[in-house]
Amino acid sequence: MTEGIQRVAINTGGGDAPGLNAVIRAAVISGLRRGWEMVGIRDGYNGVLAPDRYPDGGVIPLDRESVRGITHLGGTILGTTNKGNPLAFPVRREDGTVEIVDRSDEIVRSLEEQGIDALIAIGGDGSLGIANVLAQKGVRVIGVPKTIDNDLEETVVTFGYDSAVAFATECIDRLHTTAEAHDRVMVVEVMGRYAGWIAVGAGVAATADAILIPEIPYDLEPVAEKIMARERAGREFSIVVVAEGAHERDGSRSVVEKEAGRAERLGGIGERVAEGLVEMTGKDTRVVNLGHLLRGGGPTARDRLLALRFGAAAIQGLARGCEGCMVALDPPDVRYVPLSRATRRIKTVPLDSDLMGTARELGICFGD
Ligand code: F6P
């Protein structure tokens, strides 16, 4: 099964998430135990697409020493990027126009030239979509699901999500006390792209009064009513958690920028929600956007464990002849699912889930 495997590369792509280094460590140690040479590709695929840009050649050796003491560290020792998607790479022509080109064949060639027999691609929907195309072109690849957004199909959870929710919960707890002290409305914007997992997870855990998510286009009237009903009951403060991808029933998402070769950047919906609520309630209101704080820092114990399990499972999968697949959590086990199935659409919060049912039981308003 392990026929032909001598040199295994690892890369990390897309936005970083707590736990990347733990995956790298487990994969490297497990690979070395099998006598395989382990290497890391710098900054997603940039290390093989533009090796000249790197003094170290873009592909670096990963030995036992290079992964020592990194399990608890945030970020990624390999670097990452969510710019310049190699499947839709923007190239500026001499006349100033931008042409979009597919560079996947270049990656396949470069991996061959580097003598890489298998690739462990750690990423979210974008990076694993690229991995899926490489698999279809004959690269022996196994994906590892990473993202704070938790929006990947076929795995119960991605690593990074627990750390983001834990931190967001702590922040909302803190905002609770100051909101109560000042009788204010606090609007807390959280990341999550087109899914409301972080908003619902942290919002429910931190007892938010309203949670606005992309899965439920909202009206502000019921949110304002909820705030005023609390006021009448003597609770003069309220917490509203807003996912960055949420939008009004008749409105659009709040997009900061759209650049060729990368996903649109969301942000600013919290300000819109706050303006509307001030108009409707007249209450003193503040906005906090937790933004990249949710991605920074080290992984929780749960994310460390999941990331280590995923890293070890990726190597076990390669050893068993798995390719074109992704490791996935299916409690209590980690199993292997086809990359094509994992990347066909994003996983949003099911409205009939127990999580949403719990939120509804608790009386949390979703603006519907
Ligand atoms: O996918 C992870 C994520 O943090 C999203 O929640 C967010 O929309 C996006 O990445 C932000 O990307 P950037 O780092 O480019 O601002």
Give residue-wise pLDDT tens across range 139-165: 999 999 999 999 999 999 999 999 999
Does any domain span residue 191?
yes
Task: Check residue 36 and give its pLDDT.
Answer: 98
The distance of Cα 342 from the centroid of its chain, to the nearest Å, equals 14
138 and 193 together in one domain = no
144 and 27 together in one domain = yes
Atom of ligand 1 at shortest distance to CA of 292?
4
153 and 20 together in one domain = yes
Confidence band of 43 (pLDDT split at 50, 70, 90) = very high
Q: How far does residue 191's CA lie from ligand 1's centre (Å)?
A: 7
Q: Atom 3 of ligand 1 has which residue's CA nearest to it?
A: 15
> Annotated catalytic residue: which of 16, 43, 125, 149?
149
54 and 150 together in one domain = yes
Does any domain span residue 234?
yes
Atom of ligand 1 at shortest distance to CA of 83?
15
Q: How far does residue 82's CA lie from ligand 1's centre (Å)?
A: 8
Question: Could you tell me where the DSSP H helices lie in the chain?
Answer: 20-33, 46-49, 104-113, 125-136, 161-182, 197-205, 220-232, 269-281, 301-319, 339-342, 354-361
Atom of ligand 1 at shortest distance to CA of 191?
6
263 and 144 together in one domain = no
- Specify whether 149 is catalytic: yes
Structure-token match 């199993």, residue found: 335
For a mutational test of ligand 1's pocket, the pick from 191, 346, 348, i.e. the residue with the most ligand atoms closer than 8 A to its C-beta, is 191
Q: Which residues' Cβ are closer than 6 Å to ligand 1?
A: 15, 82, 124, 147-149, 191-193, 244, 265-266, 295
Atom of ligand 1 at shortest distance to CA of 295?
4
Does any domain span residue 80?
yes
In percent, how much of the chain has pLDDT > 90? Answer: 92
176 and 285 together in one domain = yes
CATH number for 125: 3.40.50.450
For a mutational test of ligand 1's pocket, the pick from 255, 295, 346, i.e. the residue with the most ligand atoms closer than 8 A to its C-beta, is 295
Tell me the C-alpha distance between 287 and 330, whole Å: 37
pLDDT of residue 1 exceeding 70, the answer is no
99 and 178 together in one domain = no
Cβ atoms within 10 Å of 311's Cβ, excluding its own? 31
Task: Check residue 2 and give its pLDDT.
Answer: 60
Q: pLDDT of 232-248, one tens digit each?
A: 999 999 999 999 999 99
Structure-token match 């939120």, residue found: 359
Domain count, the chain: 2
Compute the average pLDDT of residues 111-130: 96
180 and 152 together in one domain = no
Q: How far does residue 64's CA lie from ligand 1's centre (Å)?
A: 31
Compute the average pLDDT of residues 327-331: 98
Full residue range of the structural domain in which residue 136 is found = 7-159+299-342
Q: pLDDT of 173-231, one tens digit each?
A: 999 999 999 999 999 999 999 999 999 999 999 999 999 999 999 999 999 999 999 99
Q: How far does residue 170's CA lie from ligand 1's centre (Å)?
A: 20
Residue 118, strand partner residues: 8
- Asked if 113 and 51 touch (Cβ cutoff 8 Å), the reply is no
Q: How far does residue 238's CA lie from ligand 1's centre (Å)?
A: 27
Instruction: Extract the tokens encoding 227.
Output: 């705030």
199 and 105 together in one domain = no
Q: Atom 10 of ligand 1 has which residue's CA nearest to it?
A: 15
